[in-house]
Every structure is written in C-alpha cells, then in structure tokens.
Chains A and B, each alone.
Chain A
C-alpha cells in the first residue's frame, strides 16, 4: 500500500479544487502564525458585524434584512477587484512566488451538496467559519455542531464514490 505522502491527490482535486495550498515552499512552523493573525482579525469581523448571529441568517433567508447580502456582496466585489489587480500586475507573494489560480469544474455535487449545505446553514445559522467564532464567543454547545460537521464530512468521504457527481 502506498503511504499518504505519495498520494498526489489529482483525482480528488479535479472535483474539489478549493482550499488547496498552492505554495511549494517549505517553512518553519512559526511562519503559520501570520495565518493565525489573519484568522483572528477575521473572527473579530464575524462577531462585530453579527455574521455569527443566528438571527441575521434567519433574516437573510426570509428577505427581512439586507445586512448579510451587503456583507457577502461587497466582499465579492472587493475580492474580484483584488484578484483582477493581482492578475493584471502579476503581483507575487511575499516569498516571491507567482500566485496560482485554478478553475473549478462543474459537477452535480455543487447542486445537491449546495442544497444540503443550505439546509444546514439555515438550521444552525452557521457556516464553517462562524462556527469557530461562535465557539470562541462562549457558545460552547456549537462544539457539538462542529463535531457533527466533521462527522458529515467523513461520511461524505466514505460514500463519495457512490454519490452522483
């Protein structure tokens, strides 16, 4: 049997291209602290803009508030402009690497999985990012939700080959 390091993950990446580390550089562990700092600021934004609030998510899905649409919409606009700038001026990472972009391929999972995720999002009022911020803000029962989200991920991985894609 191969060991895990020799698995190049190509088959998996074709369906699941996001959240992949594109850097080929090796760094000492403390280089990761900068991501902790970005996450920290991100967590503060989640709390202060009430994105972790179950009420804000309920208002969004009932069209009773513009708040979440404004947050996601303006985030996307800023993201689009940022990526255009990075591509146009060929801006490199702080280590001098070229920033890599990957196109996603369509598969049925984006529809079926997307609907199922939407169900879960509306029930819990939390997508995976806010779950961490909720736990930090003392709503410890969300540890249970996090555990079941991990369990759900595992069950998906186990039955992946049998599911329509």
Chain B
C-alpha cells in the first residue's frame, strides 16, 4: 500500500486528536496566537457591521491572522475532499442508522446525510430549523460562552482553565438534550 492510499483511509482518533492538540502550541510559537475559531464570527461583525455596538468596536485588523486560518481550513477541506477521499461509504453505528431510517434518512453514504443537507430542504420548516436556528445557536451560544469547541474545549482545557471545563460540560449537556430529546422532533417534521 503506498502512502497516498494510506492517507486516504479514515484517520483514527489517536492520529487526529494529537494533531489537533498540536495546533495549540503551533499557533502560540508562530506568533503568540490563541487557538479559537468562533472569534472569526465576531471579527466579521466588527469588520462588516459594527453598528456602534461596543462589543464590535475594536481593532479587528489585528486579528486578521484568524481569517487566514479559517480560509486555510476551507482550502484544506477542498484538498482533502477532492484529492484524499476514499470511495467507501462512512461507517456509522447501526442504532443510529435505524433511528435515522425512522425519519426517512436512508442515504448514508456521504459525511452528512444528503437528504437533510441540501439547498432544496432549506426552504422548508425543517431546513429553517436545521440551518438557520442551528447556525444562530452556534454563533450566539459560542460568543455568550466566550468560545467554542476550539477556544474552550481545546485551548482552555489545555491551559487548565476551570471556566473552560464548565463551558465544555455545558456544551455536552446541551448537545445531549438536543440530540436525544428535541432533534428527533425536528427530524420528524
């Protein structure tokens, strides 16, 4: 098996996790930067529509490195998807597959269910809740919490910050409640 074939397989957690963890010291040593992606959303607000809101009145140009980081993630996505993907369908837990089949989601070949994540479904109540409400909660919640998975769960916990541990626990509790009790209602629409 050559190296490209090897890379094309799905990567195990013990490969991906340490690589993500190394992002923290890499950004620190490259220029004293703190790993945190949701801050980009705030910088976009500060750059495009500060609207005299105090929270958006700061020198966002100082944080422009983070836009480069985000654009890098997009390019990485393009490269990995087009050059490094394998043709095998994703392996998912059979219990999850059974549950999703109950909502009519049967095509589980890609990374995301095509029957949900498409432009056609956007203009339905289900699509509105999935994309608009979901996106809104991600943006509102991460800023309210002062960070997202990268800022709190990875950066904050790496620096042994108790507030980040509290935030991470709340991320998990919120996700647990939504996935098990509320999302099934949305998917049943």
User: Most A CB atoms within 10 A — which of B26, B177, B179?
Assistant: B179
Query: A36: which B residues are within 8 A, CB to CB?
Result: 68-69, 71-72, 75
Query: A117: which B residues are within 8 A, CB to CB?
Result: 137-138, 141-142, 144-145, 148, 170-171, 174
Q: When the two chains form their complex, are residues A150 and B44 in contact, meaning their CB atoms are under 8 A apart?
A: yes
B9 to A: closest C-beta gap in Å: 8
Classify the secondary structure of A's interface with B: helix
Query: B38: which A residues are within 8 A, CB to CB?
Result: 19, 127-128, 153
Using A80-B157, A160-B55 as known contacts, say yes or no to A35 and B166 having CB atoms under 8 A apart: no
Residues of chain B from 101 to 155 with CB closer than 8 A to chain A in the complex = 108, 111-113, 116-119, 122, 129-155
Q: When the two chains form their complex, are residues A18 and B135 in contact, meaning their CB atoms are under 8 A apart?
A: no
Query: A69: which B residues are within 8 A, CB to CB?
Result: 13
Classify the secondary structure of B's interface with A: helix
| Chain A interfacial positions (CB closer than 8 Å to B) | 4-5, 7, 9, 11-12, 15-23, 25, 27, 31-55, 57-62, 64-80, 82-83, 85-86, 91, 93-95, 97, 99-101, 103-107, 109-129, 131-142, 144-158, 160-161, 163
The one of A18, A39, A118 in contact with B69, judged by C-beta atoms closer than 8 angstroms, is A39
In the complex, number of A-B residue pairs with CB atoms less than 8 Å apart? 540
Chain B minimum-CB-distance residue to A80? B158
Please tell me the size bucket of the interface on B. Answer: 35 or more
A155 to B: closest C-beta gap in Å: 6
